[in-house]
Structure 1
């Protein structure tokens, strides 16, 4: 089972001319994206996510601002990631419960391995534990 991990995108350029980062098929991303979406204007008191997936993998990028992502594996391992640079992404495998806390100016870009299907979402924490750690309470 894969674990959440930071991904560094190529950062081309310099401070005097600016930068470009690239995600191409077969490079950097651990899957070919089938869906891309972005989240913005999220009030700081709102926590988004609070789910896992059966199949879909994601890479989250804070293209502006700061996002703190907390992940939990079914075995209880917690990790916290601070995304505050547009050349860093966070890989989230389907086996990870995750929540996102946004600074108000944050813009999150998400690459997803699958098209949206509500059936892929595990929104109940107890179900997440049953699916990804069978036989455990």
Structure 2
């Protein structure tokens, strides 16, 4: 209970100079110094508020830019998903028929044979040169 009293007394000692939102100068400070300090504090506070306003404006612009970019990316992903599903459907149609499967295997063998020959030719050039 005594800690509450001490807290209240320290709080009231800090707020002794305040009355109805105005600062009342104590006897140790002249009135004009207090006004000057209040003006400086007010100017300092205005500078901080304007800085924070600019900062929040910049953050808002950045967030809007990122939202637009994410929207474009989502649209691009949707179109890519459509293209991929069309391609997969075409592959399904190709592999449904046996003759088409044989054709794909034949093409894969030719591509593999071409790659093997390409690397053998490069290897022979490397050995000669």
Structure with the larger strand share: 1
Structure with the larger helix share: 2
Instruction: Tell me the TM-score normalised to structure 1 length.
Output: 0.16
Instruction: Tell me the TM-score normalised to structure 2 length.
Output: 0.17
> Bigger radius of gyration, 1 or 2?
2
